[in-house]
Every structure is written in C-alpha cells, then in structure tokens.
Structure 1
C-alpha cells in the first residue's frame, strides 16, 4: 500500500457529507462506503492502471466573490466540467492531487483548496478498452481576486460562468458542486 492509498483511506474514513438533505447525505455516505470497499480490495486503487476503477481528484474553482465558477470544455467528453484528473506518483496526498490538477488545468496560481472534499461521484469512463470507473473525490478551490486563467491542452475552452447561468451541457455533478460552493 502506498502513502497516497493510505491518505485516500484516511480522508474517506473521516469524511462526512457536509451538505444536502438527509437523503442526499445518506446517498453520499453510501458512495463513501463503496469507495472504501474498493480501496480495501485494490492496493493499486489510486492509479489509472487499476482496471475496475480508480480514485480521481477534481476541483470546482470558484471566484473570490463566489459569484462565478471556472469550467473546462473537456476535449474528450465535449461537455463543461470541473477541473480534475488522475492521481500521479508525485502527489503526496489526495488534496495535493486535487490542487495540482486545478492549477495545471486552470493556470491560476494561489488557489486555496477547501478543507476536505465536498462530494463524491462514481462515473463510467473509457480509461481501459473494456471500460472503467472514476471514483471521483471532489473539492472546491477559491481563486484569488483578479486571477487570470489559461487554457490547457486538455481543454477546448476554459471560462468563468455565473453560478446562476451555467452552460446547458453542465451535468448534475457540476450543478451539485456549484450548490456546495454557495453553501461552503
């Protein structure tokens, strides 16, 4: 087991869904238990090579006034999403992976990460020919006032959207993250 694997387990064991109605909190707690069971079965569960599925870290970047969110038009998916991706060997922790991905994909320096995850999401992806799952641990990051962003090679586009005017292609996960950002 790697230090990153141990950190993911520690984060998930200590995490309680911070928001939502009781049904939403119960659903998130069930997802948390599924993630922990996956980690118990897979010592390589943090790496993309883990075929059944693997932990990913994503981050919704919010402006300092909490009136806008930065979304990426994902090159492979073709929809507007939060920033994020796979854990890498140099990541000392899950939070470090989330912050690294947000900084790499936004180009923004000085992001401040939330104290812990705000929600979890499990979704099907094509990391392997037979398919796989992303077990996504989702954070918020707050951009400094006047932050400038730049489009990375993973994005078709990157832009700020008002929290009350998200693009139509933003899925339920993004919309839920925006709600969490306003409650945080």
Structure 2
C-alpha cells in the first residue's frame, strides 16, 4: 500500500465533482471521515467503520450491469470488497475485486476517480463490519464476456440496467442511475467505442 494511502484517497475524492448535490454532500463527509481516521479508515481491522471499494461492471453500450449474489448479504450487488495491503490505491482495489469476483480478465477501467459514494450499515452476518463507506468505480467488459462465479458469491450474472433483480440492497437502483448519469456526462472515450452512449 502507498506510504500515505489516506492522503491519496482524500485527493481522489476532492478531484471528483459530483453533479448530484446529495453525492457532493456525502463526499464532504467522506473527506472528514478520512481526515479523522487517517490510514485506519481503510483497514477493516481498524474499527467497525471503514472504506471499501466497488466496481460497477457494464457492457460497452451501458445496457447491462454485472452483479453478484452476495453470500453474506443474500442480495444482488455490484462487485467489490475490502482494500487489501497490496492495493496501491482504492481504484486498484475496486478493479482487483472486479477481476477476482467476475473472472473476466479484459476489463477496461473508466478512469481512476470514484463516480459514486455510498455509506451503508451492515447486518450481523458481516461480523465486525458495521458500516461500509463505499467508493464506486466503473469498468467495461466485452459484450460477450462470460463471468465465472467466485467463492465469495453464490452467483454472478448480467442484468439489464432497466430490469434489475428484486433482491438488490436499498438504494442500489439510485446508485446505478447516478453512475449512468455521470457516464453520460463524460466525453466519448476509445474504451467505449462508437456505442454513442457516452
């Protein structure tokens, strides 16, 4: 891990300008949380509340999202998890988790700045973790990519962004809609190709 990971995360958060006022307000709380906790804010053993990294994996035309059925949570959710000591930054943690949980080797990250923040309480099945301060990143997968279920989930599958399964966490639809809105505001990139969606 970087010698001062909290400072790196703080800079990443401040580099991001959310269009949604609620996300902007929550980002301010994230910065305060990192300032108060320092590097311990990344460490799951540092306390019941800590940062996590997740990745919204989408098809190039942004019509489908890859979700895993979380073994502990018993819901469909984006890929992600805890930041590990070998991760150089939060974005790397998100993309590592996406690779590990999907088995898709040729993911294309869309930037290294978070496009979503979400703080949520966790049920008792998550053990000592009481609250996750999640940072959401985005990657694209080939349209014909076939995911492989990892040991951390019971299933992994593509879902249309406008027809999500009923068993998603509260607020997940809002998070995904915010991600899609943020992507629509970005200039076209070679990674997206000529889909016309960005």
Assess same fold via TM > 0.5: yes
Q: Which of the numbers 151, 154, 167 marks the counterpart of 1:153? A: 151
Distance (Å, rounded) in 2 between the aligned partners of 1:36 and 1:5:
9
Q: Does 1:80 align with 2:76?
A: yes
Deviations 1:21-71 (A, max 9, x none): xxxx22111211111111111121111112141110001111122211111
Aligned residue for 1:22? none
Distance (Å, rounded) in 1 between the aligned partners of 2:132 and 2:3:
19
Shift of 1:142: 0.6
Q: Does 1:105 align with 2:101?
A: yes
Provide the secondary structure at the position in 2 that maps to 1:59.
strand
Shift of 1:128: 5.0
Q: Does 1:95 align with 2:96?
A: no
Q: Is residue 121–residue 132 contact of structure 2 (8 Å, CA) maintained in 1?
A: yes
Pairs aligned (count): 177
Provide the secondary structure at the position in 2 that maps to 1:42.
helix
Q: Is residue 62–residue 181 contact of structure 1 (8 Å, CA) maintained in 2?
A: no
Distance (Å, rounded) in 2 between the aligned partners of 1:168 and 1:132:
24
Alpha-carbon RMSD across the aligned residues, in angstroms, is: 1.8
Aligned residue for 1:42? 37
Shift of 1:147: 1.4
- Give matches, 1:1-184, under 5 Å: 2-18=3-19, 25-43=20-38, 44-115=40-111, 116-125=113-122, 126=124, 128-129=127-128, 132-183=130-181, 184=183
Gaps in structure 1 of 5+ consecutive residues: 19-24
Q: Is residue 3–residue 92 contact of structure 1 (8 Å, CA) maintained in 2?
A: no
Distance (Å, rounded) in 2 between the aligned partners of 1:2 and 1:53:
21
Q: Is residue 9–residue 36 contact of structure 1 (8 Å, CA) maintained in 2?
A: yes
Shift of 1:145: 3.2
Aligned residue for 2:190? none
Provide the secondary structure at the position in 2 that maps to 1:148.
coil
TM-score computed with the length of structure 1 as normaliser: 0.88
Shift of 1:174: 2.6
